[in-house]
Amino acid sequence: MEGKHWVMLVLGILLLIFVVLVPMQCRVIRPGERGVVTTWGKVEPNVWTEGLHVKRAFSQKVIKIDVKTQKLQGEVAAASKDMQEVRAEVALNYHVDPMKVGQLIQQIGRDFERVVVAPAISEMVKASTAKYTAEELITKRDGVKNDIKAALTVRLGQVYVLVDEVSIVNFDFSDQFNRAIEEKQTAAQNAIKAERDLARIRVEAEQRVVQAKAESEAAILQAQAAAESLRLQRSVITPELVRLRAIEKWNGVLPTYSGGGAIPFIDVK
């Protein structure tokens, strides 16, 4: 009986070891992840992709790396080409090269975002903003963004980090520069208004000239018409017509005293 108890005890221990150790040897790599396997601390060349994998107990470890797109946003203190202080808030979308996660862990480690990505953003933003004046950072925002993206693509590509997109969230300048920009904008708006007012005054003056010219020409035409009418009247008026018009207007009453003169409208020969 004692031998049988020992056999059952050994089998129970073996079963317990099997139940405990077997699950520890299985690892699931989820979608968007990669598994870097190390054997006694040495990085294995083969990277695990999505799915179920089995590792050797005790000697191997699995480091899971997220290879989906990540976002890192931060503020960088920089200076423009004309030495204006500027604080640039930049957002970087990136992902780890799925085929190079082993080299990334081997050369940099799991804290690669703090070690290489964040410093690269700060350095490239400072280098890019230094190429532009403070005003150009506003007016050529797309150009600045493209410069930063190109520089980060080269720098981070060397450490197996791929750049998806770069966005400039905001540029913040000193109060003095902001006031100068506002004053310049106000002056520009005033200049535009003055040009519009001058154009309006010029148009109104031209309209008045055209109107005066039209009125003058109308007056001349009217005077010419009156003169022509008078000329025509004079050409057709004869002494006989004058006598006829006078007779038509006479009421037939002879003057009481003729003063020894002739009777109206009667020729005395």
What secondary structure, in 3-state letters, does 35-92 show?
A: EEEEECCEEEEEEECCEEEECCCCCEEEEEEECCCEEEEEEEEEECCCCCEEEEEEEE
CA-based nearest residue to 40, from 20, 64, 22, 58:
58
Q: What integer pLDDT is reported at residue 183 of this predicted model?
A: 74
Q: What is d(CA 66, CA 97) in angstroms, rounded to the nearest whole number?
A: 10
- pLDDT-based confidence at residue 31 (cuts at 50, 70, 90): very high
Q: Which two tokens stand for residue 203?
A: 């148009």
The answer to whether 132 and 81 are in contact (CB under 8 A) is yes
Tens digits of residue pLDDT in 41-64: 899 989 999 999 888 877 889 999
> What are the φ and ψ backbone dihedral angles of 265, each rounded to 5 degrees?
65, 10
The model's pLDDT over 179-237, given as tens digits with 9 standing for 90+, comes to: 777 777 777 787 788 788 788 888 888 888 888 888 888 888 887 877 777 776 666 66
Q: State the helix-helix crossing angle for 141-157 and 118-129, rounded to 10 degrees.
A: 140
Q: What is the pLDDT of residue 36?
A: 94
pLDDT for the residue numbered 2: 58
End-to-end CA distance of the chain: 193
- H or E element in which residue 114 lies: none
Per cent of the chain over pLDDT 70 is 78
Rounded distance, CA 130 to CA 212, Å? 61
CA dist 206 → 148, 200, 216 (Å) = 54, 10, 15
Q: What is the mean pLDDT of the chain?
A: 83
CA distances from 50 to 23, 32, 67, 117 (A): 18, 8, 11, 25
Sheet with strand 70-79: strands edge to edge: 70-79, 85-96, 161-173
pLDDT at 226: 74
Give Cα 60 to chain centroid, integer Å: 53
| Residue carrying the six token digits 């150790």 | 21
Residue 148, classified by CB atoms within 10 Å of its CB into exposed (0-12), middle (13-18) or buried (19+), is buried
Residue 116 has which token pair?
């290489």
Q: Is 117's pLDDT higher than 90?
A: yes
| pLDDT recorded at residue 257 | 55
Q: Which is more confidently placed, 214 or 161?
A: 161
